[in-house]
Amino acid sequence: MEPMDDVTLAQRLLAVESKLDTIMTYLNLTHPLPETDPRRMPEVMKLVQAGKKIQAIKVYRERTGLGLKRAKEAIDSAAEHF
């Protein structure tokens, strides 16, 4: 079995999280969001809601210290749940 690279692992993790969110929504369950979830950052979510994803990614990166790719994935995921 070959080891997965970080990109594949991150993609799989996002897919699992998305599926889990769908199941929890269907069951009307809630769960606490991690501190780094953009949905816990009102300023970031206001930018997402306004369609300013690039600015949202920039603010999110400043707050979390994440790289561009992971920040974009987080903002894209948050926008899907919005």
User: Does residue 3 register a pLDDT over 80?
Assistant: no
Q: Tell me the per-residue pLDDT of 63-77, one tens digit each, with 9 for 90 and over.
A: 999 999 999 999 999
Q: Which amino acid is at 75?
A: I
User: Does residue 10 register a pLDDT over 80?
Assistant: no
Domain extent at residue 9: 1-31
Q: Are residues 51 and 20 in the same domain?
A: no
Q: Are residues 27 and 51 in the same domain?
A: no
Per-position b or e across 45-57, b if 16+ CB within 10 A of its CB: bebbeeeebebbb
Q: Tell me the per-residue pLDDT of 24-67, one tens digit each, with 9 for 90 and over.
A: 888 887 766 788 899 889 999 999 999 999 999 999 999 999 99
The per-residue pLDDT for 70 is: 93
Q: Are residues 38 and 56 in the same domain?
A: yes
